[in-house]
Amino acid sequence: MIPRYLTDTDPASLPVHEADVIIIGSGVAGLYTAIRLAETKNVLMITKKALLESNTRYAQGGIAAVISDEDSFDSHLQDTLFAGAGLCSTEAVDVLVHEGPDGVRDLIGLGAQFDKENGELALTREGAHSQRRILHAHGDSTGLEIVRALAEKVLQHPRIELWNDHFVIDLVTVDGECRGAIVQRPDGSRVLARGDATILCAGGAGQLFRYTTNPEIATADGIAIAYRAGADIRDAEFIQFHPTALCYAGAPRFLISEAVRGEGAILRNSNGERFMEQYHPQLELAPRDIVARAIVSEMERTKNTFVYIDITHEDPEMVKSRFPMIYDTCLEYGLDMTTDWIPVAPAAHYMMGGVKTDLNGETSVARLFACGEVSSTGVHGANRLASNSLSEAIVFGRRIVSQIRQLPSISDLPIPPLSEEEAAASSDWSGASKHGKEPLMSPVIERRLKLQKVMLRCVGLKRTAAGLEKGLEDMKRQLSILDAQLISREEFEFANMLTVSLISGEAALAREESRGGHYREDFPERDDQVWRKHIVFNRVHGRSEEAIDLEG
């Protein structure tokens, strides 16, 4: 069983830092909720690296919302439900599409500058969208522009305190209620950050895999610490692999946005043949899971490690102006999008599941909220629709702010020492000196690479029972790390990665069908009769299954 706490420190013994609200993470979800809460609350924002380093800043495509008169809420809802392959919550999607436009207007009011054409917001189309409803900024730097605008407001706000380079080890709970977090400072000392509410905005889990479009910090921390605190984790088997990440010697797995295909790019195998007509009537604009598996099938058939994305038939000036960051990055490696086919392959990109929340962003642990990729609101189902993630963060961030403003304060309630039962359920509580815990001997970087390779091989785009069982065996051999004395951020990150990898692998093994981002070669068909439901994990109660609304 995964321990309750990773740290060897009793929270009641730590120095205390008080704030009204604790926000963990600095992507669009964390920045936005901080700004809006700071209108009436004192906010502490904690980020394990720098303020501008998050998954959000790498979001190229844009933010989806019904803006055009030619679009409709029903169309956006139906597109989202279709992409989600039967596992979306219709109620959650309805909230997203109806409240999304106001969220976009709120971002504009906070200084985000989206691209315009003829004085109107410029809209583009991406895979599985039936209308042009994607707003973008600086062509292909939408996430970076949103982070820029929001970060400026955060840095200027007198009621927001920012802790860079601080790592949240665990959440602290008392009688099923979140009271704050144990935080490790850059010098290794620890502090208890206390608040009336805590919001997890810690991002995704791309670093569970050897190849990912995510930055180094995306190590599933938020999901793992919520799981240890008793929150429900839902849909962990549904991991989206972006179909088109740059695959070129010496280059990182840099994202080639879905919007490139939205503007007319086509996919070719290594023989130069366009192939998507063999896989789906929507061709290159089919849902991401279908495109990604089609690419892998072509790679296997042609015995190559990549396919090509080709936009050389489009106007060169349009390509350069619409995708300046992608164009410049490819050029750094000797690839010119306007004249060259760009080699690409799928890479882990987004986790559809996460910490289960209600429609107000609250988890199954009272006073603990989750927002952004770390959460499972019910919007994405088995496969996220392109550019819905930024919309989700703003829409549900607004709801979280409204909910927290109504909470009574608990600042006068003390944090009691851990009970004997809690101490026994923790990793090395009471310290290494009393229980003979030793520091971690083998370098954590080796363990991390081994885990990433296991996840890629066994819990990747194509899965089988035999592969999943072998992968889970390999992961469980690494559980001894939880018996060691963990000290560094990298060690805590690995413990979190291992925790979420095990949950994801167990969920993938249990789901004996193929749906959305989960594909079983031994169960290749979707089975609505048996598997139109969610798989939920809880540290205390184990695995359970949850029915969904039958209209979804």
Q: What is the CATH number of the domain that holds 321?
A: 3.90.700.10
Helix (H) or strand (E) holding 191: strand 190-194
| Residue 427 included in any domain | no
Q: What is the domain count for the chain?
A: 3
- 142 and 162 in a single domain? The answer is yes
Q: Which of 302, 329, 349 is the last residue of a domain?
A: 349
| Residue 253 and residue 188 share a domain | no
Give 414-420's long-range contacts (Cβ < 8 A, gap of 24+): 414/12, 415/11, 415/12, 415/16, 415/172, 415/174, 415/179, 415/180, 415/192, 415/194, 416/12, 416/174, 417/10, 417/12, 417/13, 418/5, 418/10, 418/11, 418/12
**Which 3 state secondary structure label does DSSP give 457?**
helix
User: According to the model, what pLDDT value does residue 125 have?
Assistant: 82
Phi-psi region of 430 (alpha: psi -120 to 50; beta: other; left: phi over 0): left
Q: Out of 57, 288, 367, 463, which one is annotated catalytic?
A: 288
Range 136-148 burial, b when 16+ CB lie within 10 A, else e: bbbbbbbbbbbbb
Residue 4 inside a domain? The answer is no
Residue 146: what are its φ and ψ, rounded to 5°? -65, -45
CATH code (residue 132): 3.50.50.60
My answer on whether 248 and 331 are in the same domain is yes
Domain containing residue 448: 437-533
| In-domain check, residue 538 | no
Q: Are 475 and 454 in contact (CB under 8 A)?
A: yes
Residue 189 lies in a domain: yes
CB 112, CB 105: distance < 8 Å: no
Task: Note whether 329 and 256 are same-domain residues.
Answer: yes
Q: Pick the last residue of a domain from 334, 349, 364.
A: 349
CA distance 232 to 354: 8
550 falls within a domain:
no
In-domain check, residue 5: no
Q: 363 and 465: one domain? A: no
How far is 369 from 166, CA to CA, in rounded Å?
20
Instruction: Identify whether residues 164 and 86 lie together within a single domain.
Output: yes
Q: What is the pLDDT along the chain (552 residues), one digit of tens a residue?
A: 788 999 878 899 999 999 999 999 999 999 999 999 999 999 999 999 988 766 555 556 689 999 999 999 999 999 999 999 999 999 999 999 999 999 999 999 999 999 999 999 999 887 778 999 999 998 778 888 999 999 999 999 999 999 999 999 999 999 999 999 999 999 999 999 999 999 999 999 999 999 999 989 999 999 999 999 999 999 999 999 999 999 999 898 889 988 899 899 999 999 999 999 999 999 998 878 889 999 999 999 999 999 999 999 999 999 999 999 999 999 999 999 999 999 999 999 999 999 999 999 999 999 999 999 999 999 999 999 989 999 999 999 999 999 999 999 998 888 888 777 766 666 543 333 334 455 665 689 999 999 999 999 999 999 999 999 999 999 999 998 888 889 999 999 999 999 999 999 999 999 999 999 999 999 999 999 999 999 999 999 999 999 886 543
- Tell whether 254 and 383 lie within a shared domain: no
Residue 212 and residue 218: Cα distance in Å, rounded? 10
| Residue 551 maps to a domain | no
pLDDT of amino acid 53: 67
Per-residue pLDDT of 72-110, as tens digits, reads 999 999 999 999 999 999 999 999 999 999 999 999 999
Residue 552: predicted pLDDT: 39
Residue found by looking up tokens 């004085």 in the block: 119
Residues 468 and 441 in one domain: yes
- For residue 104, give Cα distances in angstroms to 129, 143, 238, 381: 18, 13, 27, 23
The last residue of a domain, from among 302, 317, 349: 349
User: Do 455 and 341 reside in the same domain of the chain?
Assistant: no
Q: Which residues, in sequence order, are CB contacts of 74 under 8 Å at separation 6+?
A: none
Instruction: Check if the beta carbon of residue 48 is closer than 8 Å to that of residue 186.
Output: no
CATH of the domain at 461: 1.20.58.100
d(C-alpha 412, C-alpha 410), whole Å? 5
125 and 209 housed in the same domain: yes
87 shares its domain with 207: yes
Q: Other C-beta atoms within 10 Å of 109: how many?
A: 9
The order of strands in the sheet holding 134-135 is 63-64, 134-135, 123-124
The Cβ of residue 444 has, within 10 Å, a number of other Cβ atoms equal to: 19
288 classed as catalytic? yes
Residue 424, in any domain of the structure: no
Angle, CA of 281, 285 and 290, to the nearest 5°? 75
Report DSSP state, residue 362: B
Query: How many angstroms separate the CA atoms of 321 and 309, rounded?
Result: 18
31 and 64 in a single domain? The answer is yes
